[in-house]
Amino acid sequence: MCYDIKASLESQLKRAKRLGDEQAIKEIKDKLIPFTSLPLFHASGFQHPKLLIYTDRSPNFPEIAIWGLVPHWVKDKDQLRKFWNNTLNARGETIFEKPSFRASAKYHRCVIYIDGFYEHHHYNKNTYPFFIHYKNDEPMVLAGLYSDWTNPETGEVLNTFSIVTTEGNELLSKIHNNPKLRGPRMPVLLNKDSEEKWLTAINEPADEALIKAQINPWDDNGLDYYTVKKLRGKSYLGNVKETAEPYVYEELEF
């Protein structure tokens, strides 16, 4: 699963800055950033925050999108509310099969730049949040799917996205140990090569195999982690810098 993330403005702009187009960066900051939820020291997908995503139709200039994919065939807001929380993540193994995701898997893929993600560890009937990130503090690039949904009543167009997940690697197997789940999960992390392949539009059936080949657990090498303060309940600090800072639980054996 990947329901909790950290995303700074610096990380979200990383791909756009590759081209060195200062005018484009200024335009993003002036015209897009004010309408996002950034910065996100901690955001839960269940809050449906607005982030920047890079899509196959606009690979270098980001778009604003709401976390929680809404397929084009959703009839109205009532239907949207009933299953919106169920499309925060898309299981990579079934994205070409599930009605909510298969059209996006074929034609509407995106990447999301974040600082890292949070997962919960279960120990002695308590849960402890961990922050997982790269040791070099470079942004993580997540594989995503997006969909435009038009509200039939107002004509408003919502750009929405889901984070693709896969089996957890050895590290996530230790951290993400919820006994109620079938097994550990983690977001699909992309390197530069797989990132570009993910954004390549499918033009023929053979390309489906190319996309599936990018859906793999990330090697433990390069990943680091630490515990943070609670992300749920009365002690939750909210979307503030302190939420993402290291916090030691003396009772936790890990």
Q: What is the pLDDT along the chain (254 residues), one digit of tens a residue?
A: 789 999 999 999 999 998 888 999 999 999 999 999 999 999 999 999 999 999 999 999 999 999 999 999 999 999 998 889 999 999 999 999 999 999 999 999 999 999 999 999 999 889 999 999 999 999 999 999 999 999 999 999 999 999 999 999 999 999 988 877 777 899 999 999 999 999 986 666 668 889 999 999 998 889 999 999 999 999 999 999 999 999 999 999 87
pTM for the whole structure? 0.96
Q: Residue 200 and residue 245: Cα distance in Å, rounded? A: 37
CB count in 10 Å sphere of residue 89: 20
State whether CATH 3.30.230.70 applies to domain 4-244: no
91, two tokens: 């299981």
Predicted local distance difference test score (pLDDT) of residue 248: 96
Read off the tokens for 172.
């996530």
Give the span between the Cα atoms of 68 and 41, in whole angstroms. 19
Quote the pLDDT of residue 116.
98
Q: Quote the pLDDT of residue 220.
A: 80
